[in-house]
């Protein structure tokens, strides 16, 4: 069990009558890319929110590297090495891409004097290195609100990677990205995360992306995990095809 990085046990959370998590047991293995698929409203984002401290489960617990993290604040969880990205990229619009990344680098360090400049050499160099790895150097000085969706997604995830997480949870990293850009975005993402030895969990609706990049797939349905395993096995399961992929294709 030492290969388990994050373990959810008996997670339950309901919003009114809707069960977003109804007894979830799920382990995320070190180094893997785990895709979570399922219809909208099934509870996929809720799992990310519970794992990162934005929501507290009604019951059950989540452990990270063997320590309980349920109930910790989002900031405390980030400090332990779990970062996240949101479905809508949360870039700071008034900042350039480079400033956004530098801000993430600085917030990871956490200590600075009140008059420290944002782009002091250490932060700037690290930001530039990350931009280079994500293939974003050409737009380093562009304002965040002027980017196309693919670049916004990558910049948003670059900010999360700047926090040097060991586990990264991404909520629909390809949603809104043009079909022609999608595979390029995911390939860049996968390469950077594998190089940095970051374990990744990502909620995804595009089955081509899942099939190509996920090591395992968890199918979330009505607050439960309906299937879990390698993509080829899970995605070819007739029940999954009927109940989930069919819905995805018509969503």
Partner 1 sequence: MAEWFQDNGLLLGLALLDGLSSAGLIFLVAVGLNLVFGVLRIINVAHGSLYAIGAYSAASIGIFLSGRGLPDWASIPTLILSAALVGAILGPIIERLLLRRIYAQEEVVQLLVTFALFMILEDVQKLLWGVQPIHHDTAMRWLGTIDVPFGADFIPFTNYQLFVLPGIAIVTLVGLAWFLRRTLTGRVIVAVTTDREAATAMGIDAAKVFLLTFTFGAMLAALGGALSSPTAALVPGIGAQTIVLSFAVVATAGLGQIEGAALTSLMMGLGRSIAVYFEPELEVVVPYIIMVLVLLVRPQGLFGVIETRRV
Applying CB under 8 A, the residues found at the interface with partner 1 are 52, 54, 73-75, 78-79, 83-84, 86, 88, 90-95, 99, 103-104, 106-108, 110, 112, 114-118, 120, 123, 159-160, 163
Yes or no: say if 98 and 141 are a contact pair by the CB < 8 Å rule: yes
Biggest alpha carbon distance in the chain?
A: 60
Tokens (6 digits) for 168? 């990264």
Nearest residue to 34 via CA among 221, 231, 215: 215
As measured in angstroms, the least distance from the Cβ of 72 to partner 1 is: 12
Instruction: State the distance between the two ends of the chain, measured CA to CA, in whole angstroms.
Output: 37
In the complex, minimum distance from the CB of residue 47 to partner 1, in angstroms, rounded to a whole number: 16
Classify burial at 154, counting beta carbons within 10 Å of its beta carbon; exposed 0-12, middle 13-18, buried 19 or more.
buried
Cβ-based nearer residue to partner 1, 84 or 182 = 84
The tokens 């059950």 sit on which residue?
60
Nearer to partner 1, 99 or 199 (CB): 99
Q: Which is nearer to partner 1, 109 or 208 (CB)?
A: 109
Nearer to partner 1, 78 or 151 (CB): 78
* Least Å from the CB of residue 208 to partner 1: 27
Which residues, in sequence order, are CB contacts of 51 under 8 Å at separation 6+? 6, 8, 62, 69, 77, 82, 84, 169, 201
Identity of the residue, 79 or 242, whose beta carbon is nearer to partner 1 in the bound complex: 79
- Least separation in angstroms between residue 7's CB and partner 1 is 22
Question: Least distance to partner 1 from the beta carbon of 78, Å?
Answer: 4
Residue 187's φ and ψ, nearest 5 degrees, are -65, -45
């Amino acid at each position: 069990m030492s290969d388990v990085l994050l373990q959810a046990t008996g997670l339950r959370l309901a919003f009114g009558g809707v069960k977003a998590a109804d007894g979830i047991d799920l382990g995320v293995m070190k180094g893997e890319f785990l895709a979570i698929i399922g219809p909208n409203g099934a509870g996929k984002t809720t799992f990310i929110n519970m794992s990162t401290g934005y929501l507290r489960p009604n019951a059950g617990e989540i452990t990270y590297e063997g320590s309980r993290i349920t109930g910790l604040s989002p900031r405390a969880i980030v400090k332990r090495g779990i970062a996240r990205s949101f479905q809508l990229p949360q870039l700071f619009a008034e900042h350039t891409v480079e400033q956004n990344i530098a801000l993430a680098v600085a917030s990871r360090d956490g200590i600075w004097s009140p008059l420290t400049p944002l782009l002091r050499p250490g932060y700037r160099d690290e930001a530039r290195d990350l931009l280079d790895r994500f293939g974003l150097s050409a737009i380093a000085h562009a304002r965040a609100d002027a980017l196309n969706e693919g670049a916004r997604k990558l910049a948003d995830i670059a900010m999360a990677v700047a926090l040097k997480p060991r586990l990264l949870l991404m909520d629909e990293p390809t949603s809104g990205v043009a079909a022609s850009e999608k595979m390029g975005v995911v390939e860049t993402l996968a390469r950077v995360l594998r190089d940095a030895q970051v374990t990744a969990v990502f909620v995804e609706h595009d089955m081509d992306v899942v099939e190509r990049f996920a090591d395992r797939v968890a199918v979330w349905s009505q607050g439960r995990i309906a299937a879990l395993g390698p993509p080829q096995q899970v995605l070819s399961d007739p029940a999954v095809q009927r109940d989930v992929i069919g819905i995805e294709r018509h969503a």
